[in-house]
Amino acid sequence: MVDPVLGTVPLLLIAAAAVGVLLFLIIKLKLHAFIALVLVSLLTALATRIPLTEVVPTMLGGFGSTLAAVALLVGLGAMIGRLLEVTGGAQVLADTLIARFGESRAPLALGVASLLFGFPIFFDAGLIVMLPIIFSVARRLGGSVLLYALPAAGAFAVMHAFVPPHPGPVAAAQLLGADIGLTLIVGLVLAIPTWYLGSYLYSKWAGRKFDLPVPALLGTDETAPEDRPGFGTVLSVLLLPLVLIFLNTGLSTLIKNGNVGEDNVVVQALVLVGQTPVALLITTLYAMAILTRGRRTLADVEKIVGSAIGPVAPIILITGAGGMFGGVLRASGIGTALSDSLAATGLPVIVAAFVIATILRVAQGSATVALTTTAGLMAPTVAATSGLSQFDLALIVIAIACGATVLSHVNDSGFWLVGRFLGMDEKTTLKTWTVMETLLGGIGFVFAFALSLVL
């Protein structure tokens, strides 16, 4: 970090101005978030008097270090999700779970399917894939479409915010120095009860309160039943990366505690394949082989995985630019100034992280931008706070994710996506989707904060 030449108050004012300019550019001027983040990073570096010869290296350092952790995970995760979508794996997953749960528990089955499918696929893509299934079930069983749609939408939302390899939690974990594998485990453990309370139980009330018909939108999965993979095959694709990553985390803990020798070649190999990028690479290759076996040519498979890259490229760039902004904040000394100010207020780090993420979420809408920006702002504070374990760091990542989830409204693309696809006007969307998102973020933070106090 460059030694700061400005005092605490000027640095904090510059930080506030930088965030304000960023929000103005994105919200008012409709400037793309990637361009806005790069521009504000440059202006912040100049305003904080980082030496001119160090400005670009500082920006590129933050951008590159973030992409090194994020790009592989996001790209491979998108490929796995695309393979499941195109081969009919999502349809198989939903149909099988509904059959096993029973029609009376169809909303629960759709939610569980979305939780599983939401591990590798992003919120908007996952919801669009599931909507034809949701509408088909709603037409067959009757009742408000919200009864079936909200558990699925909530599942994708909570997985997207809480669990790697999604870009927000991956970037936040990387910026804060949290272990990705442990963050994944903590995110999963907290995501499930958060979804059950804030989405599934809420949907039962909302389904009775708002009797909305099934919209005449979308079609159904066109993959012939005989060409779809089996349920066990789909489940194996979803569970494989989890098993590999859990294995890595467990062995790393045993090595750290001295229970297993770190010089053991077998142990080293298992730790390697369980590292998140390698685990997802193995899963992508497995999915390419097992989901398309005997059904697609190699050229078709190449087109499927290639088509997954385009939609996620903007997300990867925005995430990297968020890391750039965080890198500038760290190098300028703003993060240290913020750390000192928060220490003076006595606000716990995990609470401060949640509050800052909430403010950014409400102001500019994007959960990913809120996650990455908050993590960049909080990184120096976290680094300067003694006694934080890897478990504490993972909980701080989840707290940031919770703040980046609450109060979705008209400046959030997810607000319009859900509202339009479910045939709701803005007022109804605020009363249903916004309330559910706020419940998810609030409940998740309560869980994370409680765990930080007792563990």
Poorest-pLDDT segment among 70-74, 376-380, 404-408:
70-74
Distances (CA, A) of 433 to 33, 303, 412, 426: 24, 35, 11, 10
State yes or no: pLDDT of 53 exceeds 80.
yes
Distances (CA, A) of 69 to 30, 36, 150, 320: 28, 22, 32, 10
Instruction: Give me 244's structure tokens.
Output: 């590999």
State yes or no: pLDDT of 193 exceeds 90.
yes
Q: What percent of the chain has pLDDT over 90?
A: 22
Whole-number pLDDT of residue 413: 67
d(CA 191, CA 162): 7
Determine the straight-line distance between the first and last CA of the chain, rounded to whole angstroms. 32
Region 80-89 average pLDDT = 79
d(CA 313, CA 343): 38
Are 162 and 178 in contact by the 8 Å Cβ rule? The answer is: no
State yes or no: pLDDT of 178 exceeds 70.
yes
Give φ, ψ of 424 to 5 degrees: -100, 150
Whole-number pLDDT of residue 219: 45
d(CA 399, CA 350): 6
Peptide bond into 165 cis (omega under 30): yes
Of residues 404 and 73, more confidently modeled: 404
**CB neighbour class for 378 (10 Å; exposed up to 12, middle 13-18, buried from 19):** buried
Question: How many CA atoms are closer than 13 Å to the CA of 397, on its beta-carbon side?
Answer: 36
Whole-number pLDDT of residue 138: 81
**Mean of all residue pLDDT scores within the chain:** 82
State yes or no: pLDDT of 6 exceeds 70.
no
**CB neighbour class for 258 (10 Å; exposed up to 12, middle 13-18, buried from 19):** exposed
Burial readout 197-210 (b: 16 or more C-beta within 10 A, e: otherwise): bbbbebbeebbeeb
Question: Which residue, among 406, 403, 414, 340, has the nearest Cα to 374 in the 3D structure?
Answer: 403
User: What would the pLDDT profile of 431-448 be if each residue is shown by its tens digit?
Assistant: 999 999 999 999 999 999
Q: Rounded to 5, what percent of the chain is helix, strand, coil?
A: 80, 0, 20
Could you identify the residue written with the tokens 């089955």?
109
For the chain, how many residues are written? 455
State yes or no: pLDDT of 220 exceeds 50.
no
State yes or no: pLDDT of 4 exceeds 60.
no
Region 154-168 average pLDDT = 87
Poorest-pLDDT segment among 50-59, 223-232, 336-345, 359-368:
336-345
Instruction: Give me 65's structure tokens.
Output: 């270090």
Q: Which of 100-109, 307-316, 349-358, 414-423 has the highest mean pLDDT?
A: 349-358
Whole-number pLDDT of residue 129: 66
d(CA 181, CA 177): 12
What one-character DSSP code corresponds to residue 429?
H
Instruction: Give me 38's structure tokens.
Output: 């790069």
Region 288-302 average pLDDT = 82
For 101-142, the DSSP string reads: H-GGGHHHHHHHHHHHHTTTS-HHHHHHHHHHHHHHHHHHH-
Neighbours of 37 (CB within 10 A): 30
Of residues 50 and 322, more confidently modeled: 50
d(CA 271, CA 245): 8
Whole-number pLDDT of residue 221: 46
Whole-number pLDDT of residue 432: 93
One-letter amino acid identity for 343? Answer: A
Whole-number pLDDT of residue 125: 67
- pLDDT grade for 411, boundaries at 50, 70 and 90: low
Whole-number pLDDT of residue 218: 46
Instruction: Give me 421's structure tokens.
Output: 């696809």
Instruction: Give me 66's structure tokens.
Output: 């973030």
State yes or no: pLDDT of 39 exceeds 80.
yes
Question: Which residue, among 201, 282, 218, 209, has the nearest Cα to 244 in the 3D structure?
Answer: 282
d(CA 75, CA 311): 10
User: Per the confidence metrics, is the pTM higher than 0.95?
Assistant: no
Of residues 295 and 187, more confidently modeled: 187
3-state SS assignment for residue 4: coil
User: What would the pLDDT profile of 369-398 be if each residue is shown by its tens digit?
Assistant: 788 888 888 888 888 887 888 899 999 999
Whole-number pLDDT of residue 57: 92
